[in-house]
Amino acid sequence: MLPSGIIFKSYAAEEAFLVTRPQKLVFALFIVALFLFPMVGSTYLVGTVSVMMITMIAVLGLQITVGMAGQINLGQSAFVGVGAYVTAAMAVNYELPFWLAIPIGGLTAGLTSILFGLPAARIKGFYLALTTVAAQVMFPLAISRLPQSWFGGSNGMSMPSMELFGYEIWGQTGLYLVNLCFLIVFTTLAFNLQRSRVGRAFIAIRENDVVAPVMGINLVKYKILAFFIGAVFAGISGGLYAYYVTYVTAEQFTLWLSVIYLGMLLIGGMTSPLGAIFGVIIITFLQETTHEIGGYLSGRISFVDESVLFPATNILLGAVIIAVLIFEPHGMVRRWRIAKAAYRIWPNPHG
Amino acid sequence: MRNTVLSAKSLRLTFGAITAVEDISLQVKTGQICALIGPNGAGKSSFLNCLSGFYSPSSGTVEFEGEDITGLTPFRRAEMGMARTFQGNQTYQSMTVRENILSGFHSQMRSGLLGGLLYWGGVQQENAHFINLAEEIIEFLELEPLRNTLVGELGYGLRKRIDLGRALGLNPKILIMDEPMAGMNTEEKGDLARFILDIRDARNIPIILVEHDMEVVMDISDEVTVIDWGKVISSGPPDKVRSDPKVISAYLGGGVV
Amino acid sequence: MTQITGVLGTDPRTIAGRSIPQLLLERASSFPDDTFLQKKHFGLWKPFTWSQTLNMISRYTYGLTALGVEPGDCVALISENIVEGFVAEYAILCRGALCAAMYPDMSVSEMEHILRDSAARVVFAEDQEQVDKALTLIDKVETLEWIVYFDDRGMWGYDHPQVLSVEEMERRGEGFHTKFPEQFEQVVGSVGLRDVAIISYTSGTTGLPKGARLSHEFLLDSGYRLMDAFNVKHGHEYLSYISQAWAAEQICGIALGVLAPMVVSFAEKPETVPNDLRELAPEFLLFTPRQWEMMASGLQANMFDAHPLVRRLYEWALATGKKHRDARGLSSKLRMAMADLLVLAGVRDNLGLKRANAPLSAGSGLSEEIFTYFHAIGIPLRNLYGATESGLVAAHWKGTFNARTMGQLLPVDPTIGTLLVADVSDTGELLLSGGARFSGYHNNPDASAESFNEAGQFRTGDAIRITEDGDMIFLDRVKDLRTLANGHVYPPQFLENNLRSSPFIKDAVIIGDENYDRVSVLINIDAEICGRFAERNGLGFGTFAELSQLPEVIEQIAKTIAEVNQMLDAPSRVASFCCLPKELDPDDAELTRSRKLRRNVIFDRYATAIEALYGDDDECDLEVVIKYQDGRESVVRSVVTIKRMENADD
């Protein structure tokens, strides 16, 4: 809903994300602030936000596969890994620039996912979840078994730094800005997709996969497409991650990470790309806070060390996810929508 | 002379030892409302599912506009112009009314994954063009005040109307309606009957109607086919069927109508 | 004071001798690409530019010509407010014919009277429903030759030789277009300012509706008065909502629409008006007191459901608005800014009234409470006084606005010349002269003659008092001031209006004339508010009748009456009342289509209850006949509680 006094004369105008002048202004200020953030944030903070943005792209992809199209995927981190490794291979073995290496990593991740998406045409729910877990299990095996000249085998791969027009992009600030640009582009793509024909088909399949084919939607094609595009996002995220951490190993892309991605999406809300953004922010914040508290405690209480902190953090995360699922199964996005609607019609309780 | 749009010839459907449809033939011509009635378990739903491609018949053929479509998948049939509505609540709850109807236009739209992601001018124009067509249906079904409401927030009768709107989005050459009036109150039934007649008259779309409400069936149908035990026991104009002794004894229980 | 004289307007957009069609032509050539009309269609606002609209009008005009409509003939119109209805009316005026517009919910017999009285040759009918009504009359009303419909929904099976679509009418007119290309301008040129433009049927609270003949000059002059007084600017948005059958819409929409000119907008459907109003947020709008009341009670009902804290905040903001809206001083200004920011700006926004700089309440009877309520919110509501026959007479336009007055005499178009003069006769009746004059009643020379006195002043029939400041106070209709058996004169409408301003009361019908020595009242409760009230207090009820007789509801009504009673001298106070067990309904002829009370009918139907109000019993058995739209009737019986007010005589 919008403030009063706004009329639309075309559907394109009606579809715009930003309509009123204050909306546009606030949004523009927000983007500018994001670009200026490294100037004020500490190196650690800028680095944390960089990782958040990389994670957001992976979770945005998960939102498409799981949230929009309703196809469960517990192997997202494997696809992030595929993206990371292929990007590394492209950058190291073929000396491709990052702006080519990363998209190739993304596409490869997408193509790989088709293999695991194919069963989705026939099975759903629990069985599909298992199939995607298989991707997760096979990923480290495949990396270590493939020729060492391809992906460095079990040694992992060391990354060159990013270069643009002959200049090296260095430091947390440089990486931050690249990650931010990628995030802006992929967030826009995700929002676009949601309102397009393909996005509608995804949602139709999620809502009712018996009816959707009778309405002319090719179920097999769109389920695979949903896996594909979700994994492309994952692969892009992986490529950026490879450049960020400068060293890629198979142990970085665990089933646990896939579960965390899903948890982020659940907390944020599955039904909108915004949910991915919210979820990543909330979980990262929680992780960072528990780390802080843990660090503080471990200095003072003798039995608190890593062996206690890691499980404690995860138990806390699990508890938060369960709590959100109980109190707001639709995630923060729904709360956000309710708040927005209440603001619009304030002080009236309903329109 | 009216053209035959859809014809089912000697359809037979068995599940192992059970015969759901023994032998049903049906012809639907342009501008006709064809009702299919019969007691519970007579094979109506199985027959409909053969028509829309969920089941493939054990024998017999389904022809649509002269083409044999017996082996085609549901989405191929939808692309060809066969639309149907469903029993119960089968709309997309989390979409708005307009999005639900717009989703019916899926097979007429062209933009793909890349277009959807980039949403450039051409894709936007395509979307706008089809929103306009969806709005035509919204007006036709008198849903204007609800266009931006989530379907999950609407009552049962309205959802059925949106189900119909979505089917009309396919720009169908035939419309199959599976018990559209079940669970509706009298007023909603009246509205829907009016819409069904308008669809036939203004859009010239033939309709296959499976319905339990005899009064409505006899009121709005041009042809009635009565089936029992997987076989056609009578067919013809409502008046003829009404007085057919076989129908009366098998189904209507002695002059209920 | 017994006489005041108005002023001349200063706005340069004067009528200057041009009739509505001539103004149309001029505007279309001056601003061909500006939006004139716009409608919400398929979810978007579709504009019609001046040149597009004029093109449509000329095609309709040729169509009418092809159907044989001659200048001076009458063409009727029955439609909700839609673009085609406006275009059709402009085409009728361009043809030099007279337009008789009807309320879309009129019954066949009401329609028959108007078609017969106006001798309409063609009737524009919006859709199948209206065509069906008109078809039952086509053989009965001899003059009626054609039914032209706008919306072809459901019309596919119709095959009557005298029924045609508006497109078919345009097609028939095409020949005329090519044969006489100059004809449109010529026809338009010959429509004079003093020619009668429309026959406006007054809703007639007593007897059959009378057709008031109103000229182009009359409509435009009244339009000018509004434009000048309220600074209506070129391009201001106006939502056409009140029916074309009402003279007010003829003045604001049809006449002022081309004079200002405004952008005249049409809602998608009657049900979507609140939403469309919100989207448009128009600058200029005119509602009846009834509609303002409904808006206020809708808002109050909505706030009933708010969280208690939000409601407290809202009530604080309202109280602040009431106290400080027009107060000076920094503290007041600060409080007002807070209340606006926190609450009231949102309320205005939700109503779609944030840009309304001239929201008018037409006609008398808006209660002070509602008036101050809107002012507290920050909506500068203004009273407007006028009548079909007198045009728009007075309004709050000089900066002062007292809820109890109708404002000051409006400025007249300088090209019309004569100033408005208001005189109050010995009997208290307002007599008017000046400005453009009413052209008399159609087919009713006696009534026409009666409406002017020997001095040529128009007799309004309204009891008016003029204050020292030149504000006009409406007391009542002269014939409605009532005398009790003991000779006491009291203003029944005042009581009714004040009672009606309670959210619990939808209508109040005051009893008490020379047959009775006390005042009593029949209350039609507001089902929605009372229903909520009952639910909140855990009171069970099934039907409206049960709800109306709940002791707690009656107690609530008694409290309201006691408050109103405080404002009057003892003999004028309400002594007893009862709540009606069914809602007053236009279908039972208890209300007019514009929701005015039909007293004779009500007195007749509820005679038993009225008798009981003056008796000694605490309840009575009431039987009421209810008529359904298809003509069926049924009798409803219920026991009605008679409640007597304490201290009514102290």
Would you list which residues of chain B are within 8 Å, Cβ to Cβ, of chain C?
Answer: 98, 131-132, 135-136, 138-139, 144-145, 147, 198, 201-202
Strand C263-266 relative to strand C237-240: parallel, antiparallel, unpaired?
parallel
Contact A202, A79 (CB under 8 A): no
B252 has a pLDDT exceeding 70? no
Contact A226, A202 (CB under 8 A): yes
Long-range contacts, B241-247 (Cβ 8 Å, 24+):
B242/B218
Tell me what pLDDT residue C183 has. 73
Cα–Cα distance list, C345 to B82, C170, C298, C350 (Å): 52, 47, 17, 9
Spell out which residues of chain C touch residue B139, defining contact as CB-CB under 8 Å: 42
Query: Domain residues for A239?
Result: 42-345
The residue extents of the domains of chain C are 20-191+232-283, 287-354+357-478, 481-644
Of the residues C265, C349, C353, C532, the best mutation for testing chain A's interface (the one with the most A CB atoms within 10 Å of its CB) is C349
Which two tokens mark C337?
């800014």
Rounded Cα distance between A142 and A150, Å, is 11
Q: What CATH number is attached to the domain comprising A107?
A: 1.10.3470
Q: Say if the Cβ atoms of A214 and B74 lie within 8 Å.
A: yes
DSSP 8-state symbol, C190? T
The residue of chain C with its CA nearest to that of B141 is C153
Contact C268, C41 (CB under 8 A): yes
Contact of A10 with chain C, judged by CB distance below 8 Å, is answered with yes
**For B145, which of C153, C154, C271 is closest by C-beta distance?**
C271
* Helical ranges in C39-161 per DSSP H: 50-66, 83-94, 108-118, 128-135
Rounded Cα distance between C310 and A349, Å, is 9
**For C313, which of A9, A10, A347 is closest by C-beta distance?**
A347
**Phi, psi angles (nearest 5°) of residue B255:** 70, 40
Rounded Cα distance between B24 and A346, Å, is 60
Which two tokens mark B165?
């709107």
Q: What percent of chain C has pLDDT over 70?
A: 96
Q: Is B81 helix (H, G, I), strand (E, B) or coil?
A: coil
Contact of C279 with chain A, judged by CB distance below 8 Å, is answered with yes
Q: Say if the Cβ atoms of B198 and C157 lie within 8 Å.
A: no
Tell me what pLDDT residue C342 has. 95
Contact of C525 with chain A, judged by CB distance below 8 Å, is answered with no
The residue of chain B with its CA nearest to that of C157 is B201
Overall average pLDDT of the B107-123 stretch: 94
Q: Say if the Cβ atoms of A214 and B93 lie within 8 Å.
A: no
Contact A252, A245 (CB under 8 A): yes
Mean pLDDT for all residues in chain C: 90
Cα–Cα distance list, A247 to A103, A155, A167, A254, B17 (Å): 19, 10, 21, 16, 63
Cα–Cα distance list, B220 to B97, B215, B223, C377 (Å): 27, 9, 9, 54
CATH fold match for the domains C287-354+357-478 and C481-644: no
- pLDDT-derived band at C290, boundaries 50, 70, 90: confident
The model's pLDDT over C393-415, given as tens digits with 9 standing for 90+, comes to 999 998 878 787 889 999 999 99
Tell me what pLDDT residue B1 has. 56
The closest of C371, C388, C387, C383 to C472, measured between CA atoms, is C383
Strand C382-387 relative to strand C391-395: parallel, antiparallel, unpaired?
antiparallel
Cα–Cα distance list, C262 to A5, B114, C244 (Å): 16, 45, 17
Determine which helix (DSSP H) or strand (DSSP E) holds C340, and give its type and residue range. none
Overall average pLDDT of the C153-172 stretch: 93
Rounded Cα distance between C504 and B72, Å, is 63
Strand C196-201 relative to strand A162-164: parallel, antiparallel, unpaired?
unpaired
- One-letter amino acid for residue C311 of the chain: R
The model's pLDDT over B222-241, given as tens digits with 9 standing for 90+, comes to 999 998 888 899 999 999 98
Rounded Cα distance between C147 and C134, Å, is 7
CA angle centred on A228, ends A226 and A229, rounded to 5°: 70
**Phi, psi angles (nearest 5°) of residue C41:** -145, 135
Q: How far is A19 from chain B (nearest CA, A)?
A: 17
What string of DSSP letters covers A254-280? -HHHHHHHHHHHHHH-TTSHHHHHHHH
- The chains in contact with chain B, meaning 3 or more Cβ pairs closer than 8 Å, are A, C
Which two tokens mark B150?
């989530």
The closest of C80, C245, C60 to C165, measured between CA atoms, is C60
How far is CA C516 from its chain centroid?
A: 33
Residue A18 within any structural domain of the chain: no
Size of interface B-C (CB pairs under 8 A): 25
What string of DSSP letters covers C522-548? EEEE-HHHHHHHHHHTT----SHHHHH
Overall average pLDDT of the C289-311 stretch: 91
Spell out which residues of chain C touch residue B131, defining contact as CB-CB under 8 Å: 43
Rounded Cα distance between C270 and C268, Å, is 7
Residue predicted with more confidence, A186 or C514:
A186
List, in order of start, the domains of chain B with CATH numbers. Answer: 1-6+16-81+172-257 (3.40.50.300), 92-155 (no CATH)
Overall average pLDDT of the C478-506 stretch: 83
Mean pLDDT for all residues in chain A: 92
Rounded Cα distance between A12 and A7, Å, is 12
Which two tokens mark A216?
């002319």
Mapping DSSP onto H, E and C, the string for C294-309 reads HHHHHHHHHHHCCCHH
Of the residues C263, C348, C350, C351, the best mutation for testing chain A's interface (the one with the most A CB atoms within 10 Å of its CB) is C350
Determine which helix (DSSP H) or strand (DSSP E) holds C127, and give its type and residue range. none
Cβ atoms < 10 Å from Cβ of C277:
21
| Least confident piece of the model among A79-88, C108-117, C198-207 | C198-207
Tell me what pLDDT residue B168 has. 97
Tell me what pLDDT residue B255 has. 42
Q: How far is A10 from chain C (nearest CA, A)?
A: 6
B254 has a pLDDT exceeding 60? no
Burial C149-159 (b: 16+ CB within 10 A, else e): bbbeebbeebe
Contact B172, A216 (CB under 8 A): no
The residue of chain A with its CA nearest to that of C315 is A347
Q: What percent of chain A has pLDDT over 70?
A: 100
Residue A252 within any structural domain of the chain: yes
Tell me what pLDDT residue C5 has. 93
Quick check: bond before A347 cis, omega within 30? yes
Cα–Cα distance list, C354 to A6, A351, C47, C253, C301 (Å): 12, 16, 22, 21, 21
Rounded Cα distance between A248 and A235, Å, is 13
Q: Where are the beta strands (DSSP E) in C371-485?
A: 382-387, 391-395, 408-409, 421-424, 429-433, 458-466, 472-477, 482-483
The model's pLDDT over C323-341, given as tens digits with 9 standing for 90+, comes to 998 888 999 999 999 999 9
Overall average pLDDT of the A205-229 stretch: 95
Spell out which residues of chain B touch residue C269, defining contact as CB-CB under 8 Å: 144-145
The model's pLDDT over C548-576, given as tens digits with 9 standing for 90+, comes to 999 999 999 999 999 878 766 678 789 99
Which two tokens mark C53?
């609209």
Residue A2 within any structural domain of the chain: no
Would you list which residues of chain C are within 8 Å, Cβ to Cβ, of chain B?
Answer: 42-43, 153-154, 156-157, 268-269, 271-272, 275
Tell me what pLDDT residue C417 has. 79
Q: Complex ipTM above 0.85?
A: yes
B73 has a pLDDT exceeding 80? yes
DSSP 8-state symbol, C23? H
The closest of C300, C297, C288, C299 to C366, measured between CA atoms, is C288
Domain topology for C20-191+232-283: Rossmann fold (3.40.50)
Helix axes C289-304, C308-324, angle to 10 degrees: 140
C214 has a pLDDT exceeding 50? yes
Contact C477, C461 (CB under 8 A): yes
Contact of C309 with chain A, judged by CB distance below 8 Å, is answered with no
Tell me what pLDDT residue C479 has. 78
C206 has a pLDDT exceeding 70? no
The model's pLDDT over A182-214, given as tens digits with 9 standing for 90+, comes to 999 999 999 999 999 999 999 999 999 999 999
Q: Say if the Cβ atoms of B112 and A229 lie within 8 Å.
A: no
C649 has a pLDDT exceeding 90? no
Tell me what pLDDT residue C355 has. 93
CATH fit for domain C481-644, picks 3.40.50.720, 3.30.565.10, 3.30.1490.150, 3.30.300.30? 3.30.300.30
- One-letter amino acid for residue B27 of the chain: Q
Tokens 């508890």 correspond to A319
Report pTM: 0.86
Q: Say if the Cβ atoms of A348 and C303 lie within 8 Å.
A: yes
* Total domain count, chain A: 1
Which two tokens mark A350?
């309903």
Tell me what pLDDT residue C204 has. 60
Q: Is C153 helix (H, G, I), strand (E, B) or coil?
A: coil
C174 has a pLDDT exceeding 50? yes
CA angle centred on A245, ends A244 and A247, rounded to 5°: 130
Class level of CATH domain C287-354+357-478: alpha beta
**For A4, which of C47, C281, C317 is closest by C-beta distance?**
C281
B134 has a pLDDT exceeding 60? yes
